[in-house]
Amino acid sequence: MDILELETTEQKDELLAYLPNVDWGAARALEKTLKTDTIKEKLGKDARIFYVKDGARVMGFFTLVNRDYIPLEDYDRFIAMLWVDPAYRGRGLSRVFIDYAEKQSGVDTMHILTQHKGLYEKMGYRLIREFTDSIHDKDYLYEKSLG
């Protein structure tokens, strides 16, 4: 398994070839962001995109961003758009991706904005806020001290 940071045109093309196969709104947003070269504008000045491969096959992707899908001025640095391909689920890859993102972040506090309750607590995150007026029925903001 190789975790790659998106840095080259070839990598961008590889991820763009994969994203249309992902049935998830965040994948559509990432695809549009990549196609329009608006990564820093949409995701923040420190945004980084990673994708994970098993040989030639993409296993998933995730991002480190300054802002996520709900504008939250008081928070910076989110692990976002975390996707594990269905063929690779059930192997603990979400935890691997989260651990890697935390180590790459260079910050003391990390956030995750998600619709999933119960997953990130197992990884040391604590729920700090709930939203009922966003684009989903319910969203949760998690935080973890990395320092």
Share of residues in the chain with pLDDT > 70 (%): 100
Q: What pLDDT does residue 134 have?
A: 75
Q: Please state the pTM of the whole predicted model.
A: 0.94
Confidence band, pLDDT 50/70/90 cuts, at residue 133:
confident
Kindly report the three-state secondary structure assignment for every residue of the chain.
CEEEECCCHHHHHHHHHHHHHCCCHHHHHHHHHHHCCCHHHHHCCCCEEEEEEECCEEEEEEEEECCCCCCCCCCCCEEEEEEECHHHCCCCHHHHHHHHHHHHHCCCEEEEEECCCCCHHHHCCEEEEEECCCCCCCEEEEEEECC
pLDDT in tens, 48-63: 999 999 999 999 999 9
pLDDT in tens, 92-104: 999 999 999 999 9
Confidence band, pLDDT 50/70/90 cuts, at residue 126:
very high
Share of residues in the chain with pLDDT > 90 (%): 93
